[in-house]
């Protein structure tokens, strides 16, 4: 029996749509062993069929390894599904890792090879990359269809809290809401914001972060899917020492604050949904 865990992630982090993600010390946990037939336990039975993403990722990795075999996995899905915390990326990475750990032998695939397989299945690399490499990872899909990533450090002067609601949204639907075209001014702002956001996250320069965390690609179109968004944004940002972003495609919200205890002190009264306030450490 081999045990491992894969972290939750927040993709986008403001202006890094489909490009950046953060990994947290909050994980799905897996126990795996070789088996002559597929057996998935611990999760919702709806996720135990042959076409589930864990099995798809396992099979894609076995193909790359040129191996045959199956598995028994028991997993604890701590990361809530359909909340914008990279639960599907975590499961895909876990399926790839399971094949590699059980059947890779002495010729195991590298993390970069796993990243290629997992990103192809997920379609965009921004959750998969931090789930594999940790920390703040920027990634891109190159025109030849391969994926590239680069990891950055995250300043200890910044603190992260996720606000997880009791309702779900679908990434597929949240992607369909986005316009097909953007104005040139918005595209230029996004290029500059994303470069400067990486600098703000590395240096911990909160004033810079406040200036450049604004996103024009997805947040304006997705916030309407998130009950309480306007109320929470006003509440979080009122003193100028914390900023609110959408985690991935939502509906989880991400607070980046100067103060370590911001998440512990935050009170959300009069909300339509129930929100869990969860301070997060960055998983390096």
Binding region for ligand HSE (CB under 6 A): 11-12, 17-18, 84, 124, 126-127, 171, 174-175, 218, 248-249
273 class by beta-carbon count within 10 Å (0-12 exposed, 13-18 middle, 19+ buried) = middle
- Find the shortest distance in angstroms from Cβ 274 to ligand HSE: 22
Residue nearest ligand HSE by beta-carbon distance: 248
Collect all residues with Cβ–Cβ distance below 8 Å to 224 and sequence separation of at least 6.
Answer: none
* Nearer residue to ligand HSE within complex by CB, 134 or 250: 250
User: What is the β-pairing status of strands 70-76 and 39-41?
Assistant: parallel
Distance CA 72, CA 54 (A): 12
- Find the shortest distance in angstroms from Cβ 123 to ligand HSE: 9
Q: Is the peptide bond before 251 cis (omega within 30 degrees of 0)?
A: yes
* Nearer residue to ligand HSE within complex by CB, 21 or 99: 21
Contact 136, 20 (CB under 8 A): yes
- Find the shortest distance in angstroms from Cβ 17 to ligand HSE: 6
- Find the shortest distance in angstroms from Cβ 21 to ligand HSE: 8
Distance CA 187, CA 256 (A): 24
* Nearer residue to ligand HSE within complex by CB, 65 or 128: 128
- Find the shortest distance in angstroms from Cβ 45 to ligand HSE: 24
Q: Helix, strand, coil proportions of the chain in percent (round to 5)?
A: 35, 25, 35
- Find the shortest distance in angstroms from Cβ 88 to ligand HSE: 8
Supply 133's token pair: 């490499």
Collect all residues with Cβ–Cβ distance below 8 Å to 164 and sequence separation of at least 6.
Answer: 80, 83, 85, 252, 275, 276, 278
- How many residues does the structure list for the chain? 284
Distance CA 135, CA 132 (A): 9
* Nearer residue to ligand HSE within complex by CB, 98 or 171: 171
* Nearer residue to ligand HSE within complex by CB, 11 or 232: 11
* Nearer residue to ligand HSE within complex by CB, 57 or 102: 57
């Amino acid at each position: 029996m081999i045990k491992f865990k894969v972290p939750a992630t927040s993709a986008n982090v403001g202006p890094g749509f489909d490009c950046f993600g953060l990994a947290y010390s909050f994980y799905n946990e897996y126990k795996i062993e070789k088996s002559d037939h597929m057996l998935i336990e611990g999760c919702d039975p709806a996720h135990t069929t042959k076409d589930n993403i864990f099995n798809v990722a396992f099979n894609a990795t076995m193909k790359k390894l040129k191996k045959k075999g199956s598995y028994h996995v028991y997993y604890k899905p701590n990361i809530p599904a359909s909340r914008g915390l990279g639960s599907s990326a975590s499961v895909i990475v876990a399926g790839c890792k399971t094949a590699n750990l059980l059947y890779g032998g002495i010729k195991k695939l590298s993390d970069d090879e796993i990243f290629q397989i997992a990103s192809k299945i997920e379609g965009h690399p921004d959750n998969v990359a931090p789930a594999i490499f940790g920390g703040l990872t920027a990634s891109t899909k190159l025109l030849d269809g391969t994926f590239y990533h680069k990891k950055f450090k995250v300043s200890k002067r910044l603190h992260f809290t996720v606000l997880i609601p009791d309702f779900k949204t679908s990434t597929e639907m949240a992607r369909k809401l986005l316009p097909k075209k953007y104005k040139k001014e918005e595209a230029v702002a996004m290029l500059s914001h994303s470069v400067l956001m990486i600098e703000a996250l590395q240096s911990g320069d909160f004033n810079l972060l406040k200036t450049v965390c604004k996103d024009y690609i997805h947040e304006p179109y997705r916030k309407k899917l998130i009950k309480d968004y306007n109320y929470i944004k006003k509440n979080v940002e009122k003193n100028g020492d914390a900023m609110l972003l959408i985690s991935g495609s939502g509906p989880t919200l991400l607070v980046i604050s100067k103060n370590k205890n911001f998440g512990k002190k935050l009170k959300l009264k009069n909300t339509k949904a129930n929100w869990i306030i969860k301070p997060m450490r960055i998983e390096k």
